Structures are given as C-alpha cells and as structure tokens.
Amino acid sequence: MKKLLSVFTALAVAVALLTGSIAVPTLMRPLYYAHITPLHLPERSGMTQEEIVRAYDEVLDYCTGISDEFSAGILPFSAEGADHFADCRELFLLDYRLFTASVIILAAVLVYSRKHRLHRFLNRGPAFWGASSLTAVLLTVGTLATANFDRAFEVFHTLFFPGKDNWVLYANVDPIIRIMPVEYFRECALVVLGLILAETVVITAIDVKNSA
C-alpha cells in the first residue's frame, strides 16, 4: 500500500510541476510584454505597442477564462482562427484544473505523511522520483526539439489538436500570428523547462537533506 501511494505521489508531483510551470507563461503577461521590442513585433505587425498589448490581453482573457467571447483588439480573425483559440482555451483551463487537483492531492499526502512515512525507492522519496523523471523526459524532448523547433511545434499541435488543422493560421486572415510568432513560444518553452529544472534541483536538495 505504501509503495503504491509513493508511486501515486510521484505522479502527482510530476503533474503539479508540469502544469504549474506551463501556467506561468500563460498567466504572467509581463513576460510577453518584455518580448514585444526584442521580437520587433511593431515592425512585423504595423501596430503600436499599445495596440499589441491590447490584442494580446484580449486573447489571453479569453484563453484563461476571464472572458467568454473571443476578441483580439483591432485585429480581425477568421472563424477557423477563433475555433483554434477556443481549443487553446480548453487546454489552458484543463492545465489549471490538473494543477489544482494535483496540489490538493499532494496537500492530502503531506498531511498523511506526518503520521505515516511514505515508501522511499533507493533511499529517495516520491517527490524526487516524480521531479527527476519529468526532468529526464523533458530534457530528452527538449534536446530533440532544439534541432528543429518548427517541426517540434507542428508535432505538438498534431498531438494536442488531433484531427484538426485550424491551428495553421495565415496572416492575411488571422494577423494575430504576426504578434504571436513561433519565436515567442520557443521562449515560453524555455521558461517552462527552466522552471522545472530549478524546481527539481530544490526538491533533490531537500530530499538529500532529509535522507541524511
């Protein structure tokens, strides 16, 4: 029973770290604002910085569930484009729900572990195994993606939007892609990976200290 609970806890840790780290770039809007000038978005789009910020904020309001109607500032959009962001909204909200559920589970496990010691595999706790396993997988995927991020971007959309091609947007009908280029999503991926690496280091240090 203790072994099974430890495996379940490791899985919950991995889910919490992954979904929590993914949530950061979707909720921390200053991260996007800081990329407007370096990515030359005003020149790419012909928009002012204020117009870009407003368009991005309205898209994020919709995707994060703040607004129930899709809009993108002064930018027009196609029905297919709006449908794609509706799909994105579902993924965003699913991520937040999974993060919340995993945190609740871990809180319950923490309370339980105060009276009942969890099983340790090879003298390492479930948090260590959850974090290190997730990091190993993401480093492998990240290494492969680095070789061809555009291809990795396509594979990601194929996996998470199965059977759909509305994620392929064209600037003449969905100019939102001019202010949300692939380069920005690459930076977001690096932020997610960096957060998970940092969290894994902290968890490992705590686990080593507890095992001493």
Q: How confident is the chain (212 residues) per 10-residue block, as mean pLDDT?
A: 86 97 96 97 97 98 97 96 96 98 95 82 90 94 84 87 89 96 94 95 90 68
What integer pLDDT is reported at residue 185 of this predicted model?
Answer: 94
What integer pLDDT is reported at residue 212 of this predicted model?
Answer: 62
Rounded Cα gap, residues 145 and 158, in angstroms: 15
Give the three-state DSSP class for 125. Answer: coil
**In DSSP terms, which residues pair with 124 in a beta bridge?**
121
Q: Where are the alpha helices (DSSP H) in 114-165?
A: 126-147, 149-160
82 class by beta-carbon count within 10 Å (0-12 exposed, 13-18 middle, 19+ buried): middle
Output the pTM of the full model: 0.91
What integer pLDDT is reported at residue 148 of this predicted model?
Answer: 84
Q: Could you tell me which of 15, 20, 28 has the C-alpha nearest to residue 187? A: 28
What integer pLDDT is reported at residue 210 of this predicted model?
Answer: 77
What integer pLDDT is reported at residue 208 of this predicted model?
Answer: 86
How does DSSP assign 169-212, residue by residue?
Answer: --TTT-GGGGTS-HHHHHHHHHHHHHHHHHHHHHHHHHHHHHH-
Rounded Cα gap, residues 70 and 62, in angstroms: 6
Return all residues near 126 (Cβ < 8 A) that are at least 6 apart.
Answer: 6, 7, 9, 10, 13, 118, 119, 120
SS3 content of the chain, % helix, strand, coil (to 5): 75, 0, 25
